[in-house]
Structures are given as structure tokens and as C-alpha cells.
């Protein structure tokens, strides 16, 4: 990947020296923009490396209704391939969610307190439950009525050796003004994920329209809190960026419908780094017929798969 990195240093230097206008048509401080993107990149890496980031994920176990023993011993229904007690306990899965019973003499904690049994709040609730045992932690993920256990290793060697992230050079031409064209009513989008049969169904207020190099494009936007979220693909997915597409956020527009898409802040989904995430992929309507040579690059050496 490093030998495929595209260099736009002259464009960045020109922006730094001259300032001027980007494709939003609005005057802006190019030096401040470069500093902003560099700060965003630092925050991006910090979030990945955090205890609740994506890099320490080492397992994802989908569960049907029933009971499942778990621990490091091969006789368990769910085998934690890591340093744990041989038999930690049992998960019980029902329509209402997942509960856990811990075997006597095994130390499992939640919020620093020892637990022996409890109902596990999933990741779609306001206060998801995280359980810890030695250097391991697990949570319950809930997707479309299905439940799974996601396992983390706080001492995962992959995290210690991770990086650096590589990017296209910062290019103000890929910071563009966009206009949200609202649907008559918000709709529920149906977006595929990397897991067959498991879709992502966000609310969409409409599509954003924008121009790059004199060409008009649009992306369907998804509502996430007070922001707009985009899962998009472009022609760099073939050789420079993650094949399933990248993610991007923008501020929710006001009554004028205006927002700014800064593709310099486009980034790879969690699935670019391991096999244990449930990532949406860019839908056909959100695949742009151009090379968006801005934002995060993909490096297969920064992907963790057990046994590789």
C-alpha cells in the first residue's frame, strides 16, 4: 500500500500558501483546514486504539435461542481462544435478550463489581453492559433481533503493533458544499452489511447533492443523532481504499439544506481491521463514478484475522 500512495504535496502547499476558495464556493482558511484534518486524523487513531475501539476485537459469536457454555476449554459451546478460565459460565439467549450465569470461583466483573449472574444490556441500549475477565471483555451486540457476543482482548498484540494509518494528501478540492434534498417523508433505507442476511436499516432524510470537478453527484444520507452519515464507494475502492466503501459524517443542515462534505475525513469501516464487526457496505446508489482521492487508504497489513 505504501508504494501505491498518491502524492499531492504541491496541491497542499499551494493551498497553504494561497488560501482561497474550495468547491463550496466559500472563502475559507486553507491552513486552518489542514490543521483541522490533521487533528481529526489524530483523534481517529486515538479512537481506534481505545479500549472500546475496534482493534482489540478477537471474536464474534452469533447465538440462537438456547444456552451456551463458554470459556477456553474446547468442550465449551463457545470457545474463547485466549487466556481465560476453562469454563467461565453460561449464556442464556431468549427473545428478550441474553443473560449470563458465572461459574463459582470465576472472577467476572461489570463496572468494576464482581457478578455471578445478570441480564446483559446489548449495544443498542443507552447503557450497554461490558463484562471483564482477566484481560478479556465481552459485550452483547443486537442486530435485527439477532444477538451475538463480541469478545475483546485488552492486551491484544495487534493493537500494540498497529499503524500508522495512511491517507491521501489533504486536498481542499474534496471539501465541498452539499445540499440536502429531502424526501417527502424520511424513509428507512435497506443497506447490506458484510454479514449475509443481516441488513442495516437507518433512517434517511434524503440525498445530498454536490459537485466535484464540475460534475454533479449525490449520496443518500442517513440520520445519526444530530449528524448525517454516509456509506459511500468510489473508484479508488479497486486499488487504494477499502473495497466495501468508506464512511463519512457531516453536520445536519439547517433550513437552507446546506452542509459540507469533507472527503479528507473519509475513513475505513471497522471491517477493514478485523473480521468481527457488522459493517454496512456502500449501496449501488452510493457508489460514485469517480476517484475520491482523499481520506483514509486501505492497508491489508493492518487487518487482523486469527491464524494469519
Tens of pLDDT, residue by residue, the chain (308 residues): 444 443 344 344 444 433 444 555 455 689 999 999 999 999 999 999 999 999 999 999 999 999 999 999 999 999 997 789 999 999 999 999 999 999 999 999 999 999 999 999 999 999 999 999 999 999 999 998 899 999 999 999 999 999 899 999 999 999 999 999 999 999 999 999 998 878 899 999 999 999 999 999 999 999 999 999 999 999 999 999 999 999 999 999 999 999 999 999 999 999 999 999 999 999 999 999 999 999 999 999 999 988 65
**Cis status of the peptide bond prior to 90, with omega within 30 of 0:** no
Return the pLDDT at 14: 40
Beta carbons of 130 and 136 less than 8 angstroms apart: no
CA distance 167 to 172: 14
Beta carbons of 290 and 217 less than 8 angstroms apart: yes
Which residues are within 8 A (CB) of 196 and not within 5 positions of it... i.e. 6 or more apart? none
Give whole-number Cα distances, 268 to 37, 108, 138, 306, in Å.
Answer: 16, 33, 23, 20
Side-chain-side CA neighbours of residue 69 (13 Å): 11
* 3 state SS of 36: helix
Return the pLDDT at 29: 81
Nearest CA-CA partner of 252 in 210, 224, 289: 224
* 3 state SS of 238: helix
CATH code for the domain defined by 57-155: 2.60.200.20
Beta carbons of 148 and 277 less than 8 angstroms apart: no
Beta carbons of 49 and 65 less than 8 angstroms apart: no
* 3 state SS of 80: coil
30-49 and 9-18 helices cross at what angle (nearest 10)? 130
The segment(s) of the chain belonging to CATH 2.60.200.20 are 57-155
Amino acid at each position: 500500500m505504501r508504494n501505491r500512495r498518491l502524492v499531492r504535496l504541491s496541491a497542499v502547499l499551494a493551498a497553504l500558501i494561497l488560501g482561497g476558495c474550495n468547491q463550496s464556493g466559500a472563502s475559507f482558511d486553507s491552513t486552518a483546514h489542514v490543521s483541522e484534518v490533521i487533528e481529526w486524523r489524530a483523534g481517529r487513531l486515538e479512537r481506534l486504539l481505545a479500549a472500546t475501539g475496534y482493534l482489540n476485537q478477537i471474536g464474534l459469536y452469533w447465538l440462537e435461542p438456547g444456552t451456551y457454555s463458554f470459556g477456553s476449554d474446547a468442550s465449551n459451546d463457545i470457545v474463547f481462544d485466549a487466556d481465560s478460565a476453562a469454563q467461565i459460565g453460561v449464556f442464556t439467549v431468549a427473545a428478550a435478550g441474553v443473560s449470563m450465569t458465572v461459574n463459582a470461583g470465576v472472577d467476572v466483573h461489570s463496572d468494576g463489581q464482581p457478578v455471578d449472574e445478570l441480564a446483559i444490556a446489548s449495544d443498542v441500549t443507552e447503557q450497554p453492559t461490558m463484562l471483564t475477565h482477566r484481560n478479556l471483555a465481552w459485550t452483547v451486540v443486537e442486530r435485527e433481533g439477532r444477538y451475538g457476543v463480541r469478545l475483546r482482548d485488552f492486551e491484544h498484540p495487534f493493537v500494540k503493533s498497529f499503524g500508522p494509518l495512511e491517507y491521501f494528501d489533504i486536498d481542499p478540492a474534496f471539501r465541498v458544499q452539499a445540499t440536502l434534498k429531502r424526501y417527502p417523508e424520511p424513509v428507512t433505507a435497506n443497506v447490506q452489511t458484510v454479514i449475509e442476511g443481516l441488513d442495516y436499516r437507518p433512517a434517511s432524510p434524503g440525498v445530498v447533492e454536490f459537485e466535484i470537478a464540475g460534475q454533479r453527484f449525490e449520496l443518500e444520507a442517513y440520520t445519526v443523532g444530530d449528524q448525517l452519515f454516509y456509506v459511500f464507494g468510489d473508484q479508488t475502492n479497486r486499488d487504494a481504499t477499502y473495497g466495501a466503501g468508506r464512511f463519512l459524517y457531516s453536520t445536519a443542515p439547517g433550513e437552507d439544506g446546506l452542509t459540507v462534505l469533507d472527503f479528507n475525513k473519509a475513513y475505513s469501516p471497522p471491517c477493514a481491521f478485523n473480521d468481527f464487526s457488522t459493517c454496512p457496505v456502500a449501496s449501488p446508489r452510493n457508489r460514485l463514478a469517480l476517484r475520491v482521492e482523499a481520506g483514509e487508504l486501505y492497508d491489508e497489513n493492518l487487518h487482523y484475522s486469527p491464524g494469519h
